[in-house]
Amino acid sequence: MRKPSALIKLTRPPNGVMMFVAVLVGHYVSSGMFPDASTLTLSFLTAYCLNGSSMAVNDLVDVDVDRVNAPNRPIPSGAVSPFEAKLVATSLCAVGLSASTLLGLAPSIIAVVSYALALVYNVSLKRTGLIGNMVVSVTVAAPFLFGSAVAVGTLDVGSVTLAALAFLSSLGREIVKGIADIEGDSIRGIKTVARVRGVRHASLLGAGAVLTAVALSPLPFLTGTLGWAYLPVVLVADTGFVYSSYSLVRSASPSTARNVKSQYLLWMFVALVAFLVGSATR
């Protein structure tokens, strides 16, 4: 793995891009328009850099676990040294927080709180299992609120609704990740639902959270938050969520969970696209 590509991989680009798109959705839902070029740039820097920084910190803290669960990641593979990862995390944090301050008080508060939660999770809350899963899910939902704050200086009801759906789907995926990572998590005594209550219980709880989001997915259209184009696209996401959840519950195992957590991420991206096209056609 070449050094530049390894450093980029450390920041988890797909996650950062999804965070940025969520900001755009939150902005459009609250204001009816996309941000201007300056705001767009600052929003991207905030979303991508803070996400990238937290991902680098996560990999630094989890290096022993990743040697078992994900040995091909930049740090355990040796492609990126711990010092380089610390430099990346610090630099991206500085850029992201600086960009957020230029967008106003409310957005900067959301950015600081969300990033702080991510750090606390990485350092200590990950070991708590379900509580840690909930904290991560809050950080996944936060970009919708950030976008709303950038647009109107406060939190719009529509953006809060979308954030709630994102929270539920992310919570389900985090619980399922605990099943996939059960072997490595035992090294650090991480109290995931899978380790404390068993794989079967974790699969039912994770799928339940995701299916709750599916059941509530018509709300943004019914309340007028999103337009007609939301429905066919979210139907694709919902169908995928249901199929993946069924696969998990039918055969609850770490190998199945590894596939399902990747599928959930795909369906979350499709749902994000649904939010985007729905906001543009309301």
Domain ranges, residue 193: 12-280
Query: Which one has a higher pLDDT value, 187 or 229?
Result: 229
Is the pLDDT at 1 greater than 50? The verdict is: no
In this structure, is residue 5 part of a structural domain? no
In this structure, is residue 2 part of a structural domain? no
Classify residue 103 by its DSSP letter. Answer: T
Is the pLDDT at 210 greater than 80? The verdict is: yes
CATH of the domain at 266: 1.10.357.140
What is the percent of the chain with per-residue pLDDT over 70, rounded to a whole number?
99
Average pLDDT over residues 134-147: 96
In this structure, is residue 208 part of a structural domain? yes
In this structure, is residue 7 part of a structural domain? no
In this structure, is residue 275 part of a structural domain? yes
From CA 173, how far away is CA 258, in angstroms rounded?
10
Lowest model confidence (mean pLDDT) among 98-112, 115-129, 212-226, 242-256: 115-129
| 3-state SS string for 116-176 | HHHHHHHHCHHHHCHHHHHHHHHHHHHHHHHHHHHHHCCCCHHHHHHHHHHHHHHHHHHHH
How does the average pLDDT of the chain come out, rounded? Answer: 93
In this structure, is residue 230 part of a structural domain? yes
The per-residue pLDDT for 261 is 94
Q: What is the pLDDT of residues 189-208, one digit of tens each?
A: 889 999 999 999 999 999 99
In this structure, is residue 201 part of a structural domain? yes
List, in sequence order, every beta strand (DSSP E) within 11-147.
none
What is the percent of the chain with per-residue pLDDT over 90, rounded to a whole number?
76
From CA 66, how far away is CA 265, in angstroms rounded?
19
123-129 LR contacts (CB < 8 Å, sep 24+): 123/61, 126/61, 126/62, 126/190, 127/188, 127/189, 127/190, 127/191, 128/191, 129/178, 129/190, 129/191, 129/192, 129/193, 129/195, 129/196
Q: What is the pLDDT of residues 155-189, one digit of tens each?
A: 989 999 999 999 999 999 999 999 998 887 787 78
In this structure, is residue 187 part of a structural domain? yes
Considering its fold, how many domains does the chain have in total? 1
Average pLDDT over residues 270-281: 91
Is the pLDDT at 68 greater than 80? The verdict is: no
Q: What is the pLDDT of residues 15-55, one digit of tens each?
A: 999 999 999 999 999 998 889 999 999 999 999 999 999 99
- Supply 191's token pair: 């109290």
Is the pLDDT at 2 greater than 80? The verdict is: no
